[in-house]
Amino acid sequence: MIKIQGVYKSFDELEVLKGVDLDVKKGEVISVIGGSGSGKSTLLYCINGIEKIQQGNIIVDEIDVHAKGTNRDNLRQRLGMVFQQFNSFPHLTVLENASLAPRIVKKLKKKEAIEIAKEELNNVGLSDKFDEYPTRMSGGQQQRLAIARALAMKPEYMLFDEVTSALDPELVGEVLDTLRMLSDAGMTMICVTHEIAFAREVSDKIAFFHQGIIEELGTPEQVISNPQKETTQKFLSKVLH
C-alpha cells in the first residue's frame, strides 16, 4: 500500500505540491489527470524518492520513503516507473536494456536475469527484437521496452507518467493495450495520463490534480461523468471537447 499524507514540495520558490493526500491499495489502478504543470510528474518523482519533499509523508509498504535512514535504491526496486520520454539506454540492446537492472541491482545470475527479461519482453510483444538497438525501433516499441524493463525488476507498484504523450497517434493503442494487460493481471498502478477514455475504462479511482492539490477523487463515474468541482468540469470540457 502507498500512503501519501500531506505532502508539500517546492522547487526553490515555486510551490508545486501543496498538501497532497492519496492512498493506493494493493491491486488498485489510480489515474491522475489534470492540466500541464499542475505537479503530476513531480508527485510520481516524490513517490519513488527521486525528488525530495519538504513536508508530509510518503509510506510505501510501511517504509517511509523520505525518512533519513531509508535505502531508496532498495525501495525503488518495488516501484517501477515509466516516463513520457522513452529513456531507452541507447548503447544497449533490447535484451540488455531489460536484463541490466535485474543483474546488477538484484544481483541475479546473468542467465536468470536474461530469462526474466525475455519473459517480460515476450509479454509486451517484443520477442523478435532481443538483439535490436532501441534507437532503431518505433516510439511504441521503445515505450513497451521501457515497461518490460521496469517489470523485469518484479516491482509491486508501477508508476506511469504520460507514457503515451510522446507517441504518434497510431502507436498509442499498442502501449495502452500493454497497460490494460497489466491492470488485468492485478498490478497496482498509478497512471498519470491524458487518455481520459482509457483512464475511465481501467481505473478504480481517478484523481483530478489542480495547482498542486487533488481537487477531486473518486470512481470514474463520479469524477468523469459527474464532476462536482468547477475546475474539474472546465478541465474535462477542454480535453473531451
Partner 1 sequence: MEYVFHWNIVFQKMPQLLHGAFVTLHLSVSAMLIGIVIAVLLAIAKMSKSRIYSLPATIWVEIARNTPALFQIYMAYFGLGALGIHLSPYVAVLSALIFVNAGYLTETFRGGFQSIPETQYNASKSLGMSSIQVYRYIILPQMFRRIYHPMTNQFVWSILMSSLGILVGMNELSGETQRLQSLSFRTLEFFIVAAIMYFIITKFVLLSASLVSKKLFKGDI
Ligand X SMILES: Nc1ncnc2c1ncn2[C@@H]1O[C@H](COP(=O)(O)OP(=O)(O)O)[C@@H](O)[C@H]1O
Binding site for Mg ion (CB under 5 A): 41
Binder of ligand X out of 31, 41, 141, 143 (CB under 6 A): 41
Nearer to ligand X by Cβ, of 16 and 151: the residue is: 16
Does position 11 bind ligand X by CB under 6 A? yes
Contact (CB, 8 A) for 39 and 14: no
- Return the H-helix or E-strand segment holding 60: strand 55-60
* Stretch binding ligand X (CB under 6 A), from 37-45, 91-99, 115-123, 137-145: 37-45
Name the DSSP class of 126: -
Q: Which residue's C-beta sits nearest to Mg ion?
A: 41
Nearer to Mg ion by Cβ, of 32 and 114: the residue is: 32
Query: CA 111, CA 172: separation in Å to the nearest integer?
Result: 33
> How is 186-228 classified by DSSP, letter by letter?
T-EEEEE-S-HHHHHHH-SEEEEEETTEEEEEE-HIIIIIS--
Does position 16 bind ligand X by CB under 6 A? yes
Determine how β-strand 29-34 pairs with β-strand 205-210.
parallel
Smallest gap from Cβ 232 to ligand X, in A, equals 15
Task: Mark 42-81 with x for binding to ligand X (rule: CB under 6 A) and - for no binding.
Answer: x---------------------------------------
Does position 170 bind ligand X by CB under 6 A? no
Nearer to Mg ion by Cβ, of 157 and 160: the residue is: 160
Binding site for partner 1 (CB under 8 A): 45, 48, 50, 73-74, 76-77, 79-81, 83, 85, 87, 89-93, 100-101, 104-106, 133-136, 146, 149-150, 153
